[in-house]
Structure 1
Amino acid sequence: MNALGLSMIVKMGCICTRESLNINGVKYVVKERLGEGGFSTVDLIENKGTKRKYALKRILCHSVEDQKTAMEEIAYCRKLKHPNIIELVDSTFKGSADIVVNATSEAYLVLPYFRRGTLHDYLTLKSFNRNHLGVKEVVRLFADICQAVKYLHDFTPEAIAHRDLKVGNVCLTESMSPVLMDLGSCAPAKVQVCGAQDAQKLQDLAAERCSMTYRAPELFHVESYCVIDQRTDIWSLGCVLFALCYFKSPYDIVYEKGDSVNLAVISGTIHFPEDTPFSQDVHDLISFMLKVNPSERPFIDSVIERTRDLQNRIEVVV
């Protein structure tokens, strides 16, 4: 190889090699970066033997507390078994987080790879031409997402809240079935808040883990003495259904205008487009979930019942 060729490879990084990983005895090669967030990255990886592709979620842990949080996500992935909730293929830790400065570990979660991407990706493509989903598809997708949420809320021995439901956390299978992912925000559904310190801790946690434009009002300003329950997810579901109809959460629109999401959520402000292909029944279902007072908000069974009624009416019309 001449000097010029060697120089080009050095400058570009060796294009002929890819990162290899050994996870519990299975060898993978990293193909490309799929995405990254504040706490993790996701890579497309390929099993060297079977050539099957997976998604690898890497969570960098800077402390023992970070490592505990990652272990909790792995635990939720392992115990939740539902066709509309993502499965965990394998997992491991590399390194060991400690209180010593610069001591870090990394959690590796091997997950199914969804070639179609997320519901957010799908809606973004549709939005370019203002090509709304048909009402039948909207309600079908929403009904399946509700089944995943019902499984979480009915889980025994303790109900689970997802706490970060949004279209970006729903993958789509080849047959266009929704699969709920990112279980890192999952927690026991019912939280008893006793005092200002508890309230601030939960509020800070929500700000960190719950996407602002899908976050329930009671998580923006947590009262000093209250009970938070799984109806935080119902608010988020209302935002998801709005996004299925109009491509974004109603509060994404507020955020993009530069207005206060906090104030809009607390006031329950929501504007439906005047020029819409969707019936009042669909808007009523969204409004049914977006009740500012959580005690007035339905539980998941009532949402599913109304969704089924809507499906039946659609079938009759069609």
Structure 2
Amino acid sequence: MAGSLLHVVDSLRETVTDAVFALSSCMCRQSATIKVNGRSFVVKRVLGEGGFSFVYLVEDATSGRLFALKKIRCPTGEDGVREAMREVEAYRRFRHPNIIRILDSAIVQDHDEGKIVYLFLPFYQRGNLQDAITSHSLAGTHFGELELAQLFRGTCLAVRAMHAYRAPARTSDQTSGGASPRRPSPAPARGDESDDHNAALLPQADHGDDSDDEQGGGYSYSSQPLRSAPSRNRDPVGDESRLVFDGDAELGQIETQAGDQGVPEGQGVVVPYAHRDIKPANIMYADDGVTPILMDFGSTIRARIAIEDRSQALIQQDLAAEQSTMPYRAPELFDVKTGTTLTEAVDIWSLGCTLFALAYGHSPFETTQTMEQGGSMAMAVMGGKYKHPPESAGRWSAGLIGLIDACLKVDPNERPDIHQLIAMTDKVIAGLQ
């Protein structure tokens, strides 16, 4: 009993420490330093927070490079670690110019049985689309329609990499039944635009051979592919940040053991995944100022889930309530029905809400009635009750308004799939050029 109480106290203390740093990061205060994988990082400021996670802007004390460091607390031990590692695997699985790349990851021992997962991600200095929406609102301006449509198309391309993901073909060992099953390497999922924008953000190995990268091996912030970086180059770490598992190194080892070199175009089974939390705050601006980068894969899940009983329905409903932002959440996730199948169409709804927010500064369901007058946002979403602001009449073409309306169909079967949505967006863009 006493041990359990101490564990709770330790967890609360660490949570308060993060919160205090978040508050004090805006004040004059000497920056904190953390040590992960034997390297020291200076924490510059808090970029975001939510649930058990904080995202910090950190600077490598040796190279001066900036990173976004996501810190995920796992007070439940291994169960929490497995949950966090699913996010790491999602970053590794989907390879596309419009999807953020993970640079490195590690798990360190926290107090008692708890652990902390660190994810090192590129830092995009231009911020996210929600930042841009806020800036436009403050300045009384808005996106240009062509710019808006192109941002939307780039985001759709990222989503297509998830919805059209092809699982690697099984190896002979997996199908023979004579050996224990091995996990296959995720095949890169790419759209038509095959030049990887994020490759410019990744450290390049001196030998110039990026074969490790293409086969799924990650790059660490030490500027060497993880599988080729000798462990002796990592300095001993202090007790406060003891390395117990290097996530990318482990994933690389699994992929090497699987021996899969990727699946050629047209092979492998299509296994759609859903992001389930698409919103402007989860879409970054690349440093070129025009390319959207989809991020935050903590809610990613296999898209098609058959709901066979009430218990399954409640599990999915609770999961969506925890992981999917309400103003962008699809209606079928608010009240999951027995006998239905959840699909990747939930992302199409979120894309429609995102496009609406880019056009009008807020989601379709963040209205005066739902935000200030006690109205039910859930009821508004499930009823598909939204309006294009009359004060913005004439600002956008009928084609762009049609994109929004096509996505925001309460019946998921009436929404376009991602391929159809991209084709519709291309038509709008062609009409604007």
Query: Is TM-score (shorter-chain normalized) higher than 0.5?
Result: yes
Separation in 2 of the partners of 1:193 and 1:232? 15
CA distance in 1 between partners of 2:143 and 2:355 (Å): 12
Alignment of 1:1-318 (within 5 A): 18-63=31-76, 64-95=78-109, 103-157=113-167, 158-176=271-289, 177-253=291-367, 255-257=370-372, 258-276=374-392, 277-315=395-433
After TM superposition, give the deviation of residue 96 of structure 1 in Å. 6.0
Tell me how far apart the structure 1 counterparts of residues 162 and 366 of structure 2 sit (CA, whole Å): 26
CA distance in 2, matches of 1:127, 1:153: 33
**CA drift at 1:153:** 0.5
Distance in 2 of aligned mates of 1:273 and 1:139: 19
- 1:120 deviation in Å? 0.4
Hey, what does 2:253 align to over in structure 1?
none
RMSD of the TM alignment (CA)?
Answer: 1.8
State the one-letter code of the partner of 2:350: S
1:16 and 1:174 mapped to 2: Cα distance? 28
> CA shift at 1:17, angstroms?
5.0
Equivalent pairs counted in the alignment come to 299
Q: Which residue identity is paired with 2:89?
A: A
Calculate percent identity across the aligned residue pairs.
Answer: 38
| CA deviation string 1:239-277 (max 9, x = no partner) | 011011011111122542332111111111111012321
Higher relative contact order (CA 8 A, sep 6+): 2
On the 8 A contact 1:23/1:91 being kept in 2, the answer is: no
Q: Match of 2:272, as an amino acid?
A: A
Tell me which amino acid in the other structure corresponds to 1:135: E
Q: Aligned to 2:70, what secondary structure does the other structure show? A: strand
Secondary structure in structure 2 of the residue aligned to 1:202 = helix
Bigger strand share:
1
1:25, distance to aligned residue in structure 2 (A) = 3.3
TM-score, normalised on structure 2?
0.67
**Contact kept in structure 2, 1:59 and 1:106, CA below 8 Å:** yes
What TM-score do the two structures reach when normalised by structure 1? 0.90
Change (3 A) 1:244 1:16: closer
Query: Tell me, which stretches of 5 or more residues in structure 1 are unaligned?
Result: 1-11
CA gap 1:226/1:127 in 2 versus in 1, 3 angstroms: same
Q: Is the CA contact 1:43–1:55 (under 8 Å) kept in the aligned structure 2?
A: yes
Structure 1 residue 82: Cα displacement: 1.1
Kindly provide the amino acid, as one letter, of the partner of residue 297 in structure 1.
R
Q: Quote how far apart the aligned CAs of 1:79 are.
A: 2.2
1:7 is matched with which residue? none
- 2:320 and 2:102 map into 1 onto residues whose CA distance is 24
Distance 2:146 2:90 in 1: 32
CA displacement at 1:156 relative to structure 2: 1.4
Q: Is the 8 A contact 1:213 1:255 kept in 2?
A: no
Deviation at 1:19, TM superposition (A): 2.9
Looking at structure 2, the residues matched to 21 and 87 of structure 1 have their Cα atoms a distance apart, in angstroms, of 22
1:4 corresponds to: none
Alpha-carbon distance between aligned partners in 2 of 1:23 and 1:78, rounded to the nearest angstrom: 20
Deviation at 1:110, TM superposition (A): 0.6
